[in-house]
Amino acid sequence: MAEQMTGAEMVIQALVDNGVEHIFGYPGGAALPIYDAMFQQDKVQHILVRHEQGATHMAEGYARSTGKVGVVLVTSGPGATNAVTGLTDALMDSIPLVCITAQVPTTLIGSDAFQECDTVGITRSCTKHNYLVKNVNDLPRVMHEAFHIANSGRPGPVLVDIPKDVQFALGMYLGPDEIGASRHKSYHPATSGDARAIEAAVDMMLKAERPIFYTGGGIINSGPEASERLRELAELTGFPVTSTLMGLGAFPGSNPQWMGMLGMHGTYEANMAMHDCDLMICIGARFDDRITGRIDAFSPGSTRIHVDIDPSSIGKNVRTDLSIVGDSGLVLEEMVRIWRTKTNQPRTEAIAPWWEQIEGWRSRHSLGFKNSDTTIKPQHAIKRLYEATKGRDVYITTEVGQHQMWAAQHFPFEMPNRWMTSGGLGTMGYGLPAAVGVQVAHPDALVIDIAGEASVQMTMQEMSTAVQYGLPIKVFILNNERMGMVRQWQDLLHGGRYAHSYSESLPDFVKLAEAYGGKGIRCSDPKLLDAAIQEMLDYDGPVLFDCLVEKHENCLPMIPSGKPHNEMILPDFEDDIGAVIDEKGRQLV
């Protein structure tokens, strides 16, 4: 029903009409009319953050754990620029966000007014799309379109910049149904894949002798149905399954067909199988450089099927033999259906030699590590955390570094949407706010940020948000007193010269937790670890757990820069890791 209201009221009404229950934000002069409208309603709950970057990661955690759009509201100028890291993170990892930024009044735009910045200019390359709304009557359409674009096709962040005078102006509000199709007739993302291509893919799968499913975040984005179909297809075919960092949880970690994560810190079996397969079925992943390793030696003998909703991902980094542009869930559903029409047998016998070879690689136990009675090994800490939380509805977020990779390796998931990490951008400081966002969406679930002591200090202040809203997040810090991943690369590439990769003065995390009004726990003795973890889990409120771990543990296995999949450094590697990478590989990231 068309109704007259102010721009600020339209923003709130559009949020309600698009199913938004929570938004993460921080006020400021240019955003005050929207905040005033927010104050006078109770349908949308606003979570007040401590830094706008925190708001964006909270919205990401919220989105990734629910499948809904995460919403951010910030003021002009510094509010908008502080949101840039999270927007870029969401773009890289295809997370649906709508970010509303306030802007100086239209009459002042371009005058270097107080707290003015060129928000649409700055964010053009870190959003899927953005808008500057100069007329209040455009606002309803833009808001609805923003939600549509954020959450359809390959999801991503959409920004709507609203000058203060537009927030005050009166105009006609129309709901999403009254506005109908989005104005942009140019925007029509792919949905179902080409039927003949899918049939051809199934025919290739029926002939494969050394097949592998290589899956990614696209399956999570498609929704829980897609994970169901993947499990069904894996069962029907009997093929092994590996996944990127972003796809973890789409396939159960307990399933015997699960190979573990692939790529730079993936398992030996997953990477060897990628290298030696004859048919690679890539679904919702993008052949990122962390996955392929040295590209001219990537999987030399394979035929490759690539399913992706974004046509530009196909053939971008590697050759593809059969491309299917479509939503991974719909394509998987079709693959299941066609497979069933052709056979009711998995290819167990035909691929038995392949599985035998895989078992051989598995027996290398590439995730192995030397445990200790005296110091806590970080991998061990994660394994104990996993055991202590097994069977509970647990959501894991991470920061960026060694702890992130160890979490991916040692904390298996049974369900999608339970693993939130910054993959494409690798943003230190993602995990704590992301955990806050997840906890807002799932108040009764157990939400744990597996953190590093360096990363967690980047957005530590969001502990205050967690305390304010009674969000009992657990921040499990693997404290090696090092930027461990940087230290590892300095050992690999720079002769062990540790330029600025350690902190001279870390805070006392226990006191810090208490200062914020949370609980602090410290543990450095492997024998006391289980009890300390239990104490953390039993506490009804936010916890910082300072887990003092081995300082010089390397994160292995690893494909070093410039090497192919079949030249991994395994944990039983005794030599000097500084001698592995050649001169050319040194230039790579």
Exactly one of 3, 114, 207, 359 is catalytic; which is it?
A: 114
Burial of 503 (0-12, 13-18, 19+ CB in 10 A): middle
| Nearer to ligand TPP (CB atom), residue 336 or residue 577 | 577
CA distance 3 to 366: 63
| Binding partner of residue 120 among ligand TPP, Mg ion, another protein, none, CB cut-off 5 to 8 Å per kind | another protein
Question: Is residue 551 within a helix (H) or strand (E), and if so which, with residue range?
Answer: none
Q: Does 245 bind ligand TPP (CB under 6 A)?
A: no
| Nearer to another protein (CB atom), residue 292 or residue 303 | 292
CA distance 161 to 256: 49
Active site residue 411: no
Which residue in 170, 181, 295, 515 binds another protein (CB under 8 A)? Answer: 295
Active site residue 115: yes
Exactly one of 205, 259, 405, 485 is catalytic; which is it?
A: 485
Specify whether the CB–CB gap between 189 and 154 falls below 8 A: yes
Binding mask 461-480 for Mg ion (x = CB under 5 A): -------------------x
Exactly one of 68, 128, 164, 383 is catalytic; which is it?
A: 164
CA distance 363 to 440: 42
Strand ranges, E, within 278-392: 279-283, 303-308, 322-325
Exactly one of 5, 9, 24, 52 is catalytic; which is it?
A: 52
| Nearer to Mg ion (CB atom), residue 431 or residue 562 | 431
Residues in Cβ contact with 488 at an 8 Å cutoff, skipping those fewer than 6 apart: 402, 554, 555, 577
Residues in Cβ contact with 401 at an 8 Å cutoff, skipping those fewer than 6 apart: 428, 452, 454, 455, 483, 484, 485, 486
Binding mask 76-105 for ligand TPP (x = CB under 6 A): ------------------------------
Q: Does 485 bind ligand TPP (CB under 6 A)?
A: yes
Q: Does 484 bind Mg ion (CB under 5 A)?
A: yes
Specify whether the CB–CB gap between 448 and 474 falls below 8 A: yes
> How many residues in the shown chain lie near another protein by CB under 8 A?
31
CA distance 85 to 287: 23
Q: What is the smallest separation between the CB atom of 54 and Mg ion, expressed in angstroms?
A: 20
The DSSP string of 192-241 is: SPPHHHHHHHHHHHHH-SSEEEEE-HHHHHH-HHHHHHHHHHHHHH---E
Q: Does 586 bind another protein (CB under 8 A)?
A: no
**Which stretch, 41-49, 148-156, 393-401, 572-580, contacts ligand TPP (CB under 6 A)?**
393-401
| Binding partner of residue 89 among ligand TPP, Mg ion, another protein, none, CB cut-off 5 to 8 Å per kind | none
Q: Does 567 bind another protein (CB under 8 A)?
A: no
3-state secondary structure 37-51: HHHCCCCCEEEECCC
409 alpha carbon, distance to own chain's centre:
15
Active site residue 333: no
Q: Does 427 bind ligand TPP (CB under 6 A)?
A: yes
| Nearer to another protein (CB atom), residue 36 or residue 118 | 118
Active site residue 178: no
Q: Does 301 bind another protein (CB under 8 A)?
A: no
Q: Does 125 bind another protein (CB under 8 A)?
A: yes
CA distance 6 to 28: 19
Active site residue 460: no
Q: 304 forms bridges with which residues in the sheet?
A: 280
Q: What is the smallest separation between the CB atom of 319 and another protein, expressed in angstroms?
A: 9
Q: Which amino acid does the sequence have at 175?
A: G
Catalytic residues: 52, 114-115, 164, 485
User: Binding residues for another protein, per CB under 8 A?
Assistant: 120-121, 124-125, 128-129, 132, 149, 184-187, 287, 289, 292-296, 310-312, 315-318, 561-562, 584, 588-589
User: Binding residues for Mg ion, per CB under 5 A?
Assistant: 452-454, 480, 484
User: Binding residues for ligand TPP, per CB under 6 A?
Assistant: 399-403, 426-428, 452-455, 478, 480, 482-486
